[in-house]
Chains A and B, each alone.
Chain A
Amino acid sequence: MKKFCAFLALVLSLVFAGATLAQDKPAATPDKPAAAEVKKEEAKPAPSTVNKGDVAWMLTSTALVLMMSVPALALFYGGMVRSKNALSMLMQVFVVFSLVTVLWCVYGYSLAFTEGNAFFGGFDRLFLKGTFDSAKGEFANAATFSKGVVIPELVYVAFQATFAAITCCLILGAIAERAKFSAVLVFITLWFTFSYAPIAHMVWFWMGPDAYTSAKVVDEMNGKAGWLWQMGALDFAGGTVVHINSGIAGLVGAYFIGKRIGYGKEAMPPHNLTLTMIGAALLWTGWFGFNAGSALEANGIAGLAFMNTFLATACAVLSWTLGEAVFKGKPSMLGAASGAVAGLVAITPAAGNVGIPGAFVIGVSAGLVCLWGVSGLKKLLGADDSLDVFGVHAIGGILGALLTGVFNDPSLGGPSFPVDWFVGTAVPAKDYSIAGQLWIQAKAVGVTLVWSGVVAAIAYKLVDLTIGLRVNEEDEREGLDTAAHGEAAYRM
């Protein structure tokens, strides 16, 4: 016991730099078997503490993910539309980002990340109440993936807000150049409430590692988590929640809103690929916050996610442009930028869940598969998904989600996943079933496609019946910049 206490003190002093240690001895649990105590690194009721390094990293990550929407995604999309619609694209991303941030603080966070049932959270955190006790000057904390390590809940709220907001912004590319501005805002409000929040809850809500205080409570705590989490779906930073979710909503939108006037007959080339390249490059940078930040701590897993994000993206740029050169004749800048985004999307669910070999394979295959997604598959689908939200985000997300189940296997260099959150150790290679995990991943993909697709269809229909999804023909021909916003991106 003495040895254990000494070990505990060492761990505490390493982890809790500057934190108060004036706690009673938490390890003195008489009924706990000695063997388990030696094996376990974490003390059972270890006092949770906030690490300044983690907080600094998470605040940085949050700002990086904000940059992914404004300006990165806005520029990426804005460059791909015709010049008469450039501002409308920037404007839609800017305002939807702001709208979702507000909704997130009013009820979205509560609906996604508090205890409720397996599909929706509760209303405990409406208007973020309870995150800061002004009387006592105390901040509520949110769990990370390490026992005894927490971050201030407000930091987690802010980090997750940027995810919710960018997911909604991604959809806008599919209905670009013809959607009515007010319709976009109403649709996003509905879809965010009934698809983003529940899918985030299903995939990401769990009780946190500190809730797993004994082997007896494992099943009970698992039962309180979201449905897909319980199923065992692995989604590090949002392959299902962000990319498949928005990708299918975009495709459904493209069907409901109809093709742009002149689609397939008139040329609709991107008006400024320089903006698109800048956008893609800023997305790449911001994505380090998105993926490595999803580790919720500044640790080795964050480093793994960072490197995987870096590598897979570079692989996808190469494979997409090579694919273009071989199959279409010339490697293009738009292809390189699209390849980068495809790689980033595909590595998102895998970032901290696979090793370096996984990043190579996921990156290379994402570039080629998404190239097919925006060409061969797009022709098959027959929808005018203007900026290929489905072809890049949904297809890349599905590919990444499935391959996560493969390359998570320790025998393929992956970190595996915990046996359970009380034991904490990872499933060893000999017990890892790729087929089993692949099936779980496939179910998560299917649930997201169906859920988001159905919610999106209902929401589009409702908006179309009430305010109308689409601008009139004259406005569409004139361009949304002047028709909807009364200004022009470029003046003679």
Chain B
Amino acid sequence: MKLVTAIIKPFKLDEVREALSAIGVQGITVTEVKGFGRQKGHTELYRGAEYVVDFLPKVKVEAAVKSELLEQAIEAIEKSANTGKIGDGKIFVFDLEKVIRIRTGETDAAAL
């Protein structure tokens, strides 16, 4: 099993969710986050004061998938979150040791 974590542009969230559902991913967790990468921040001007805003708002999507679904999931996110412009985000993949469904106690593949 793998945990796929993707940092994407906030307005791409719906497309990413649809693409993941389409390939059979059963659930995802979404968090509003801030960060910086190659896409630089921007400046904000309040009356006389200028602030450089380094951290830009992004959305973090986390999905636990069976290993055989990994490549499809990566492809789905890559395609749906792509705008071709700087700041589209990144995908991180982790090995997933164990999964437990709290309600039933099912584990691993059955819990996904």
Interface residues of A (CB under 8 A from B): 267-270, 324, 328-330, 332, 334-335, 338, 374-376, 378-379, 388, 391
Q: Across the interface, do A334 and B47 meet the contact criterion of CB distance under 8 Å?
A: yes
User: A330–B47 contact, CB under 8 A?
Assistant: no
Which residue from chain B places its CB closest to the CB of A268 in the assembled complex? B49
Q: Which residues of B contact A324 (CB under 8 A)?
A: 45
Task: Name the prevailing secondary structure of the B interface residues.
Answer: strand
Is the interface on chain B under 10, 10 to 19, 20 to 34, or 35 or more residues? under 10
Verify B45–A330 contact, CB threshold 8 A.
yes
How far apart sit A377 and B95, CA to CA, in the bound complex (Å)? 58
The answer to whether B46 touches A329 (Cβ under 8 A) is no
Cβ contacts under 8 Å, B46 to chain A: 269-270, 332, 334
A388's contact among B44, B47, B52, by CB below 8 Å, is which?
A: B47
Q: Residues on B close to A: CB < 8 A?
A: 44-49, 51-53
* 19 A–B pairs (Cβ distance < 8 Å), ordered by A: A267-B51, A267-B53, A268-B49, A269-B46, A269-B51, A324-B45, A328-B45, A329-B45, A330-B45, A332-B45, A335-B47, A338-B47, A374-B47, A374-B48, A375-B47, A376-B48, A378-B48, A379-B48, A388-B47
Residue of B nearest to A371 (CB): B47
Give the chain A neighbours of B49 by CB distance below 8 A: 268-269
**B47 and A269 contacting across the interface, CB-CB below 8 Å:** no
Q: How far is the CB of B42 from chain A (nearest CB, A)?
A: 11
| Known contacts A269-B49, A329-B45; 15 further A-B pairs (Cβ under 8 A) | A268-B49, A269-B44, A269-B51, A270-B46, A324-B45, A328-B45, A332-B46, A334-B46, A334-B47, A335-B47, A374-B47, A376-B48, A378-B47, A379-B48, A388-B48
Give the Cβ gap from B71 to chain A, nearest Cβ, in Å: 38
**Neighbouring B residues of A334 by C-beta, 8 Å:** 46-47
Q: How far is the CA of A329 from the CA of B48 in the complex (A)?
A: 13
Report the Cα distance A324→B53, complex, angstroms.
19
B47 contacts across to A, CB distance below 8 A: 334-335, 338, 374-375, 378, 388, 391
A394 to chain B, nearest CB (A): 15
* Nearest neighbor of B51 in chain A, beta-carbon distance: A267
